[in-house]
């Protein structure tokens, strides 16, 4: 079985056999549920696999604290359940699973399927009131979380009947969720048999360009398509990359005459950021530019056009944990100047999104500096220097991650993925940020499909937002698109 980057979908919750909230000790067994597909994105069925779970003190550590082997795990319709710790224990610096969590404030988990390499990136495991949570899971699978009901209801602070991650909890019981409007119905952009995920969107003045990661060719490649202003698909999909290795997580930006696109690529034996130019119809112009050349991994870029050059930001592991970096690229695709480090958080900062205001950049990302995954925002000068302090955008009981930022001409719109512990689902949310970096109003829920919606990407048309995201309602990952009203009360 070929191990694609997204073959194994980590579950969002590792349920403790003994509840930490009841004051009991950390257990020797952890109930874990996940989803497993083959390289084409089709769920495996009626097979068994050997799973290896390795626990590390940091995201990039080479030596595990402890390794747990779980042989012969049955997979039924893509879903498997396992008691981590019930198989073999291979001691490292720790000899028990309980010791891993008792003796280390930070724990990262790597997963290996059969003899395939360990999947990247690793998932950071943190404890919450009733569970251990895999913070960086690509997608959360449904688990029975009914026992979380009391915990979630305790977070309905204004007692208006809405849980905190669906409401502003402003202390006024008469105020329900915000009244932003979605315009029209959702559009399914992709419909290939394999997975399509991590979309990017850019407005040209008359239509949207969309790019995403696609597995239809047996390898992750970047694809492009056009979408009308009303949300209709225009023409067919166009393949942008064709390297023998993986290309994924694109970011698209419009210059006024053509697109710039950046993505993650491992053609050089390491994850690096690449850049290329595309015509208005999506045809490649010129050759690819390698933007980063660091010995560590550089992931998940975000691109923004200033009117004369591109700004690009990404998450980078060169400092021992992931931080947000920034660089400049000329209109012709040449690197300008050196890389600049934007964040300095010991817990790591991930998945940046960059937007240009006309005089400076806004950048959003997610990190765990406050003990939970939350969305943050900062302002950068045209050269990438930090302006002012960071703003915490979200403060939900669940996880908030994978933000996307867009400038309207007077303020920022920001969208992100929000994980609901009660339902076990991911959905897309939206909020406003002022030009000076202050939160405006409350959050608006964009998706509510009883499935998963994650990794959104925003684009501003001049009167409304377009938003694209990865959606699991069609059994495998597909790209969806919707429109959001440009004025929120």
Quickly state the pLDDT bin for 342 (edges 50, 70, 90). very high
pLDDT in the model for residue 266:
93
pLDDT exceeds cutoff 90 at 307: yes
Our CA angle for 400, 403, 404, nearest 5°, is 155
- Count the alpha carbons within 13 Å of 267 in the hemisphere toward its beta carbon: 17
Mean pLDDT of the 35-51 span: 77
pLDDT at 469: 95
Q: What is the pLDDT of residue 2?
A: 35
Dump pLDDT digits (tens) for 454-467.
Answer: 899 999 999 899 99
pLDDT reading at 18 higher than 50: no
Residue 119 carries which DSSP code? P
Residue 210: is its pLDDT beyond 50? yes
Q: Which of 26-35, 94-103, 362-371, 423-432 has the lowest mean pLDDT?
A: 26-35
The residue among 33 and 257 whose pLDDT is bigger is 257
| pLDDT for the residue 21 | 33
229-233, 360-364, 442-446: which has the highest mean pLDDT?
Answer: 360-364
Please name the residues in contact with 269: beta carbons below 8 A apart, sequence gap of 6 or more.
Answer: none
CA distance 80 to 150: 27
Residue 9 has pLDDT above 50, yes or no: no
Average pLDDT of the residues in 367-372: 86
pLDDT of residue 365: 97
List C-alpha distances in Å: 92 to 96, 143, 152, 320, 332: 9, 30, 37, 21, 50
What number is the average pLDDT over the span 384-392? 93
pLDDT at 126: 56
pLDDT interval class at 40 (50, 70, 90): low
| pLDDT above 70 as % of the chain | 80
Q: How far is CA 487 from CA 236, 241, 353, 411, in A?
A: 32, 37, 22, 11
Q: For residue range 215-252, list pLDDT tens digits in order.
A: 999 899 999 999 999 899 999 999 999 988 899 999 99
Which residue would you say has higher pLDDT here, 403 or 446? 403
Instruction: Give the pLDDT score at 451.
Output: 66
Q: What confidence tens digit (pLDDT) does each residue in 404-438 have?
A: 999 999 899 999 999 877 777 888 999 999 888 88
Q: Which of 286, 293, 241 is nearest to 268 (CA)?
A: 293
- For the segment 185-209, what is each residue's pLDDT rounded down to a tens digit? 899 999 888 899 999 999 999 999 9
Predicted local distance difference test score (pLDDT) of residue 357: 96
pLDDT at 330: 95
Global pTM reads 0.67
For the residues of 34-100, what is the DSSP string, one character each? EEEB-TTSPBP-SEEEEEEEEEESSTT-SS-SEEEEEEEEEEBTTEEEEEETSSEEEESS-SSHHHH
Averaged confidence pLDDT in the chain: 81
pLDDT at site 7: 42
Residue-level pLDDT at 184: 87
Q: How many helices (H) and strands (E) are present in the chain, helices listed first?
A: 2, 34
Q: Which residue has the higher pLDDT, 72 or 379?
A: 379
Structure tokens at 3: 């191990």
Highest averaged pLDDT of the listed ranges 60-69, 163-172, 448-457? 60-69
pLDDT band, very low/low/confident/very high, at 122 (cuts 50, 70, 90): confident
Mean pLDDT, range 88-117, rounded to an integer: 88
Q: Which domains does the chain have, with CATH numbers?
A: 8-144 (2.60.40), 182-485 (2.120.10.30)
Query: Contact at 8 Å (CB) between 457 and 201?
Result: yes
Q: What is the pLDDT of residue 313?
A: 98
Most confident by average pLDDT, 70-84, 122-136, 424-438: 424-438
pLDDT one-digit tens code per residue, 137-179: 333 333 333 333 333 344 444 444 444 434 444 444 444 444 4
Q: What would the two tokens of residue 81 be?
A: 């359940």
């Amino acid at each position: 079985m070929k191990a694609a980057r997204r073959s194994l979908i980590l579950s969002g919750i590792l349920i403790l056999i003994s509840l930490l909230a009841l004051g009991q000790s950390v257990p020797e067994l952890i109930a874990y549920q996940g989803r497993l597909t083959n390289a084409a994105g089709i769920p495996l069925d009626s097979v068994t696999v050997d799973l290896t779970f390795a626990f590390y003190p940091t995201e990039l550590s080479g030596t595990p604290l402890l390794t747990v082997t779980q042989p012969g795990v049955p997979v039924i319709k893509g879903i498997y359940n396992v008691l981590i710790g019930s198989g073999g224990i291979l001691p490292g610096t720790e000899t028990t699973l309980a010791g891993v969590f008792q003796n280390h404030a930070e724990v990262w988990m790597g997963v290996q399927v059969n003899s395939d390499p360990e999947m990247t990136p690793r998932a950071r495991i943190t404890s919450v009131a009733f569970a251990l949570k895999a913070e960086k899971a690509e997608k959360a699978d449904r688990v029975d979380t009914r026992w979380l009901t009391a915990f979630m209801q305790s977070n309905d602070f204004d007692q208006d009947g809405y849980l905190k991650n669906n409401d502003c909890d402003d202390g006024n019981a008469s105020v329900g969720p915000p009244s932003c409007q979605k315009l029209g119905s959702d559009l399914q952009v992709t419909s290939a048999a394999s997975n399509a995920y991590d979309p990017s969107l850019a407005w040209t003045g008359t239509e949207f360009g969309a790019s995403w990661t696609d597995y239809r060719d047996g390898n992750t490649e970047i694809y492009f398509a056009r979408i009308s202003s009303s949300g209709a698909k225009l023409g067919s999909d166009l393949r942008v990359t064709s390297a023998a290795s993986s290309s994924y997580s694109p970011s698209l930006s419009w210059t006024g005459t053509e697109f710039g696109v950046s993505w993650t690529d491992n053609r050089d034996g390491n994850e690096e950021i690449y850049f290329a130019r595309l015509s208005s119809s999506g045809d490649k112009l010129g050759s690819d530019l390698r933007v980063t050349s660091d010995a560590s991994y550089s992931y998940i870029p975000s691109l923004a056009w200033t009117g004369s050059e591109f700004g690009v930001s990404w998450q980078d592991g060169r400092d021992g944990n992931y931080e947000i970096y920034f660089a400049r690229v000329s209109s012709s695709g040449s690197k300008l100047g050196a890389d600049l480090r934007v964040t300095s958080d010991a817990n790591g900062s991930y998945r940046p999104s960059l937007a240009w205001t006309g005089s400076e950049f806004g950048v959003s990302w997610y990190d765990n500096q406050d003990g939970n995954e939350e969305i943050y925002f900062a302002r950068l000068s045209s050269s990438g220097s930090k302006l002012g302090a960071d703003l915490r955008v979200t403060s939900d009981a669940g996880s908030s991650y994978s933000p996307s930022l867009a400038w309207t001409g007077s303020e920022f719109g920001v969208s992100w993925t929000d994980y609901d512990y009660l339902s076990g689902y991911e959905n897309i949310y939206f909020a406003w940020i002022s030009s000076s970096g202050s939160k405006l109003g409350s959050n608006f829920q964009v998706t509510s499909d009883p499935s998963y919606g994650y990794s959104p990407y925003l684009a501003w048309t001049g009167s409304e937002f377009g938003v694209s995201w990865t959606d699991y309602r069609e059994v495998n990952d597909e790209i969806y698109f919707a429109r959001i009203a440009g004025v929120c009360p």
